[in-house]
Amino acid sequence: MASSVLKASDSIAGVLRRYLPVLLGTTAMAILSGILVTVLDDATYLRRFDPSLKAQMSGWSLVALATVAVFSNAMMVCGRRWAGVVLASYFAMCLMLVVPTLQYHPHTLAYTLGVVCPLCGLLLLNSERHREMRHSLLKLRVLRHDGGRAADRSA
């Protein structure tokens, strides 16, 4: 495993080059998973509702899913350990909402992407690079927190 702690000599370009692709990939998979869950649920579970109610329910569910995805990614970047668990639960929930729609015979591409996107998101979360990023961000959070205490003690 490569250096798991960022050093002061590391440039921001190097850090971005190393961790940004996996962070953006996970974020993209979270957004796509939320969109596909909303589309498939709208076409299957909510098909008997009035169109205006269906649109309102789909809109609010999309806002809620996007809020959870953005919040967990932001907390992960802040170095919170539990944010990875929230994002993994998000992907699992998206998968559990999509898989039963098969009985309604949804569009093949929408269903396939609805299954593949959460699985790719879970795969990215479980990758070595993502684990290394979460570990580095946690260590940076601890260093920032301890650095603030050391500055308060010296004053």
- The angle that helices 82-98 and 12-43 make with each other, rounded to 10 degrees, is 30
3 occurs within a structural domain: no
Long-range contacts of range 15-23, CB-CB < 8 Å, 24 or more positions apart? 18/129, 18/133, 19/129, 19/132, 19/133, 19/136, 22/124, 22/127, 22/129, 22/130, 22/133, 23/73, 23/77, 23/130, 23/133
95 occurs within a structural domain: yes
pTM (2 d.p.):
0.85
Q: Residue 81 and residue 92: Cα distance in Å, rounded? A: 18
Structure confidence at residue 1 (pLDDT): 46
Structure confidence at residue 143 (pLDDT): 83
7 occurs within a structural domain: no
57 occurs within a structural domain: yes
127 occurs within a structural domain: yes
Are the C-beta atoms of residues 73 and 20 closer than 8 Å to each other?
no
Structure confidence at residue 14 (pLDDT): 74
Q: Would you list the DSSP string of 74-106?
A: HHHHTT-THHHHHHHHHHHHHHHHHGGGGGG--
Domain of 101 in residue numbering reads as 12-154
2 occurs within a structural domain: no
Structure confidence at residue 155 (pLDDT): 47
Are the C-beta atoms of residues 37 and 69 closer than 8 Å to each other?
no
Are the C-beta atoms of residues 74 and 13 closer than 8 Å to each other?
no
Structure confidence at residue 16 (pLDDT): 75
Are the C-beta atoms of residues 68 and 8 closer than 8 Å to each other?
no
Structure confidence at residue 151 (pLDDT): 46
Residues of the chain with pLDDT under 70: 1-12, 148-155
Structure confidence at residue 9 (pLDDT): 54
120 occurs within a structural domain: yes
Structure confidence at residue 12 (pLDDT): 62
Contact partners, residue 22, CB within 8 Å, separation at least 6: 124, 127, 129, 130, 133
Counting the structural domains of the chain, the total is 1
